[in-house]
Amino acid sequence: MRAFLFPGQGSQAVGMGDALAGASRAARDVLEEVDEALGQNLSRLMREGPEDELKLTENAQPAIMANSMAVFAALTKEGSVDLAKAANFVAGHSLGEYSALCAAGAFDLSTTAKLLKLRGQAMQQAVPVGQGAMAALLGADLELARRIADAAAQGEVCTVANDNDPSQVVISGHKGAIDRAIEIAKEMGAKRAIALPVSAPFHCPLMQPAADAMQDALSYVVVGDLAVPVFANVTAQAENDPDTIRNLLVEQVTGMVRWRESVLNMGETGVVEFVELGGKVLGPMVKRILPDAKVTSVVSIEDIEALAKEIA
């Protein structure tokens, strides 16, 4: 069994998708459609930068999705790969869940781009710059990360945002609490604690205003039938009911990304091969969770051709 995976924020880089767009008409079409949907030359920002502007949450989120979907379009339209035959499940990390849902047919490309633009703006506006922060705890599992977060909170928000793999957990909350967590993490048993260069504290209760904005936006959107189920961040389970998926996308804004559990559960379901489309971030996490799994990262036209040949 095989799962297609889609990366989340932090995987953006100036130049992303440029070589692929030059080699694939289907990839170019995706970038042009996203530009048109947003009324913004996002593809130029992806191609040329500046990096500071690309890194802004409201740009990074649709850009990462556009890059993943450009790879997916080249694979399915030019490589003649049928998602329903090639994969048993899709999954994405945080915003990558929207890419996964777009690939599976829950949303069309224009709708996905608009939802992610709004999601990025709402997350950015939920907490004034400088009041929130995030940190990666390395050499810490979920239980240790929770103990560190609880000890550092002291009346402020400090909670686990991403349970990425057995050795990397990300915490999120008020800046003061995250600073305290970084100070005490090593003495409590973590190898290292690193402040992350993010503009807002994602996946924690401080994001409630953004969750409210997404609930409103998603209430107007039709969620289509999925070609294959999605392993949802919030439940770490396979989901394919449209109303459930809509509700989970709202919960996801403030909820923990249960990535480690999702990968473990996919493995238990019988998935032995994981293909990351548009990045090289999730593959190493998967290998730390399921060392025996086959992991492939697909970014370039050469990667796409090799995968299409293998699946055919």
Q: In this predicted model, what pLDDT tens digit does every residue of 108-118 receive, in sequence order?
A: 999 999 999 99
Residues 76 and 83 sit within 8 Å (Cβ to Cβ): yes
What residues contact 180, with CB distance under 8 A and at least 6 apart? Answer: 151, 152, 154, 158
The DSSP secondary-structure symbol of 14 reads T
Dihedral angle computed from the Cα positions of residues 266, 270, 72 and 41, in that order, rounded to the nearest 10 degrees: 0
Q: Could you give the 3-state DSSP secondary structure of residue 32?
A: helix
The top-level CATH class assigned to 2-126+206-311 is: alpha beta
pLDDT value at residue 198:
83
Q: What residues does each domain of the chain span?
A: 2-126+206-311, 132-198
* Whole-number percent of the chain with pLDDT over 90: 94
Q: Is 221 exposed, middle or buried (0-12, 13-18, 19+ CB in 10 A)?
A: middle
pLDDT value at residue 11:
80
Average pLDDT over residues 109-134: 95
Domains 2-126+206-311 and 132-198 share a fold: no
Q: Could you give the 3-state DSSP secondary structure of residue 85?
A: helix
pLDDT value at residue 129:
84
Average pLDDT over residues 127-143: 95
Q: Which two tokens stand for residue 1?
A: 């069994």
The DSSP bridge partners found for residue 257 are 162
Residue ranges of alpha helices (H) inside 105-189 are 109-126, 142-153, 175-185
| Bigger pLDDT: 251 vs 56 | 251
pLDDT value at residue 312:
76
CA distance 161 to 179: 15
pTM for the model:
0.97
Average pLDDT over residues 38-66: 95
Residues 56 and 124 sit within 8 Å (Cβ to Cβ): yes
pLDDT in tens, 265-311: 999 999 999 999 999 999 999 999 999 999 999 999 999 999 999 99
Provide the residue count of the chain.
Answer: 312
pLDDT in tens, 149-207: 999 999 999 999 999 999 999 999 999 999 999 999 999 999 999 999 887 899 999 99
The top-level CATH class assigned to 132-198 is: alpha beta
Active centre residues (catalytic): 94, 203
Average pLDDT over residues 205-212: 98
Is the confidence at residue 14, as pLDDT, over 80? yes
Q: Could you tell me if residue 236 is left (phi over 0), alpha (psi between -120 and 50 degrees) or otherwise beta?
A: left
Q: Which two tokens stand for residue 267?
A: 């493995």
CA distance 54 to 40: 12
Nearest CA among 63, 53, 52, 56 for reference residue 18? 63
CA distance 130 to 136: 17
CA 90 to chain centre: 12
pLDDT value at residue 136:
97
Is the confidence at residue 83, as pLDDT, over 80? yes
| CA dist 14 → 42, 59, 154, 184, 236 (Å) | 11, 12, 39, 35, 31
